[in-house]
Amino acid sequence: MTLFQQEVEMAVDALLMQQVILYPTDTVWGLGCDAEVPRAVERLYKLKGRPEDKPSIVLVADLDMMHRYASAVPDGLAELLAAQTRPTTYLLPASKQVAPLLVASDGTIGLRIAQDEFCHKVVRRLGHGLVSTSANLSGNPTPATYAQVDPLIIRKADYVVSWRQDDTTTVAPSRVVRLAADGRLEVVRE
């Protein structure tokens, strides 16, 4: 078994035990847990010091999983996903499958199909959405690389993924798009 495969398995094992992991995403280093386990999401928010009224996004494996967590998905989203050139988070009406803290006051949830191979394998193997919030204490700078992660976050995470810890590549945060009332998609953050 390769280091990559070992790290996927270890991360999934931790998530199945309702733990919080520190891991590399397709944008920045993140903290995550199983999106369907309210207790795990509460632990993550406490670890980060994140206000409960500030929802986190959920990484999903594919359009089918997106349908699981959104009560409405716009027609043509499959074509948009196929054409996108950078990580994009879609704000869609939330279903009842996700932990309540992940739902915004307007009833939406942020969903992004994981483009990063590691994240995609973890989500696929877990079979549930993976919470993805930046690996920083609330209000502090977002760590683009593992070297930028606060040592306190590293100590508090239940499992720290060793995959890509030496990677210094930085990527911009995801684009954010909202489903408007008329069914159109509006860019919230480019």
Contact 74, 126 (CB under 8 A): no
- Write down the pLDDT at residue 170: 83
- Write down the pLDDT at residue 85: 83
Q: What are phi and psi of 50, to 5 degrees?
A: -85, 135
- Write down the pLDDT at residue 75: 82
Read off the CATH number of the domain in which 50 is found: 3.90.870.10
Total structural domains in the chain? 1
Q: What percent of the chain has pLDDT over 70?
A: 99
Tell me which residue range forms the domain holding 176.
3-189
Sign of CA dihedral 117, 121, 124, 130: negative
Question: What integer is the mean pLDDT of 77-93?
Answer: 88
Q: Range with the lowest mean pLDDT among 4-18, 53-67, 119-133, 175-189? A: 175-189
The pTM assigned to this predicted structure is 0.94
The predicted-structure confidence for 125-179, as pLDDT tens digits, reads as follows 999 999 999 999 999 999 999 999 999 999 999 999 999 999 998 887 788 988 7
Question: What integer is the mean pLDDT of 31-38?
Answer: 98
Query: Which residue type, as a one-letter code, is found at position 11?
Result: A
Taking each helix axis as running N to C, give the angle between helix 3-16 and helix 117-126, from 0 to 180 degrees, rounded to the nearest 10: 40
Contact 81, 92 (CB under 8 A): no
| Buried-state track 113-124, b at ≥16 Cβ within 10 A, e below 16 | bbbbebbbbbbe
